[in-house]
Structure 1
């Protein structure tokens, strides 16, 4: 099965969802989020237990929100700032992954950047190849990684998430493993997937859902924090200074400190 922004492969033991926007660094937009949710709808309607695998392609997992799409949406007649909706749909999608009644595995081979890191952090198991890299660079454009930060915090704890947000540092797979951002680093993710698919096939979807709901209830993320993250993202995306920084980067590949 092929979607516009996703490649979806159905196997007996798993459904593999591949971000399919290689010309944009597999960055997500509203359409990708909607199509991902449509795939999840279909899987959830099935009775059989299967693994759900999320991956990128061409050496990139996902580079976050598509900033070029963001600007183009604002430039269209009648177009408004997309983040008024994309931030909310994004965090709703992350929440859904954490509650989805199937085992969700992120396989990272390459860069998982900004909001792309959220799909890793919201997965039940995250596997990375040694060449993978991770970063929260939002501060470069005057943004706070508010939505993704909640889910990174869920995996790493406060200090690591705080440091990644403040420093915009690019970290390698071994450090991501030490922080708990990923669960395993391996040259052969398929071996891990085969093992997990056997485990997933033995678990009733209802039980998986019960476990996820319970651990979410005792965890650090709640609707109030999610709403605050969306509001902070929307506030900053409407800021002229932020929009100018994003425009300079998308159109001229120029960072704020390189302005004339």
Structure 2
């Protein structure tokens, strides 16, 4: 199958998915979301597969929203807003990662920002190198990480997620491990993956699905928060001030706190 934003290969023990938009810092757009769903379809259709490994090409795992994409006109031909449709599509992808009857592992070696933190938070396991970092800079643009927050709180709790959102400061890999956003710090992810795969391959896919479904019931379900997250994202993205900041960055690389020249 042809992928526009990914590199995908099947290994004996795992499906390896590499986000492959290095020229755009592996940012998230519609093509990437569609490609990821296609790759997940492939994984679900393979009864022998238990493990999915998500990685990023280059020094950035994922930089979140593609601002060039977001700077486009805010309405579709059908009258629906692109922020609503885009927010719902991304939220649906994150929710699928948490319910997929496969173990999803994010292997991080570099910077993770915005929606990339959502991909990490929605993964079952996260292995990261010491040089990795994690940040939610959305507030600098007048936004909030609406679709990321339910999954991040689910993984690390309310206060760390709130602090990352309101400070916008990057979190080091070591701190992310303390918060349990990262399960293991390692510069030898392949060794760690082999150890995990030796166990995961012995578990029936139905048990993986049961486990993920059962643990989802232990806290607030992301499904219950979808409408709140998508509606708030659409409201903020429709703000003229926010759109001006995004367009300025996409077209002139102007940071949101810089005045118009």
Range of TM-score over shorter length: over 0.9
Aligned counterpart, 2:189: 189
What SS class does the counterpart of residue 187 from structure 1 fall into?
A: coil
Distance 1:128 1:184 in 2: 7
Query: After superposition, what is the alpha-carbon deviation per residue over 1:206-242, rounded to whole angstroms, capped at 9, x for unaligned?
Result: 1000000011122223423121001100111111111
Of 144-153 and 122-131, the range deviating more from structure 2: 144-153
Aligned counterpart, 2:108: 108
C-alpha change, 1:94 and 1:194, in structure 2 (3 Å) is same
Of 121-130 and 212-221, the range deviating more from structure 2: 212-221
Of 131-140 and 80-89, the range deviating more from structure 2: 80-89
Distance 1:208 1:60 in 2: 30
Q: Residues 73-222 of structure 1 correspond to what in structure 2 (within 5 A)? A: 74=74, 82-222=82-222
Aligned counterpart, 1:249: 249
- RMSD in angstroms over aligned alpha carbons? 1.8
Matched residues, number:
260
Please state how far the C-alpha of 1:259 moved relative to its aligned partner. Answer: 0.9
What SS class does the counterpart of residue 257 from structure 2 fall into?
A: helix
More helix by share: 1
C-alpha change, 1:210 and 1:239, in structure 2 (3 Å) is same
Please state how far the C-alpha of 1:172 moved relative to its aligned partner. Answer: 1.0
Please state how far the C-alpha of 1:82 moved relative to its aligned partner. Answer: 2.9
C-alpha change, 1:42 and 1:229, in structure 2 (3 Å) is same
Establish whether residue 43 from structure 1 lines up as the match of residue 43 from structure 2: yes
Please state how far the C-alpha of 1:76 moved relative to its aligned partner. Answer: 9.7
CA contact (8 A) 2:18 2:55 kept: yes
Distance 1:232 1:41 in 2: 29
Gaps of 5+ in 2: none
CA contact (8 A) 1:73 1:81 kept: no
Establish whether residue 52 from structure 1 lines up as the match of residue 52 from structure 2: yes
Aligned counterpart, 1:234: 234
Of 217-226 and 145-154, the range deviating more from structure 2: 217-226
Distance 1:235 1:192 in 2: 42
Query: After superposition, what is the alpha-carbon deviation per residue over 1:110-138, rounded to whole angstroms, capped at 9, x for unaligned?
Result: 01100011110000000101100100000
Of 110-119 and 68-77, the range deviating more from structure 2: 68-77
Please state how far the C-alpha of 1:79 moved relative to its aligned partner. Answer: 9.6
TM-score normalized with structure 2 length: 0.95
Distance 2:231 2:107 in 1: 30
Please state how far the C-alpha of 1:2 moved relative to its aligned partner. Answer: 4.9
Gaps of 5+ in 1: none
Please state how far the C-alpha of 1:75 moved relative to its aligned partner. Answer: 9.6
C-alpha change, 1:243 and 1:26, in structure 2 (3 Å) is same
What SS class does the counterpart of residue 105 from structure 2 fall into?
A: strand
CA contact (8 A) 2:132 2:172 kept: yes
CA contact (8 A) 1:49 1:203 kept: no
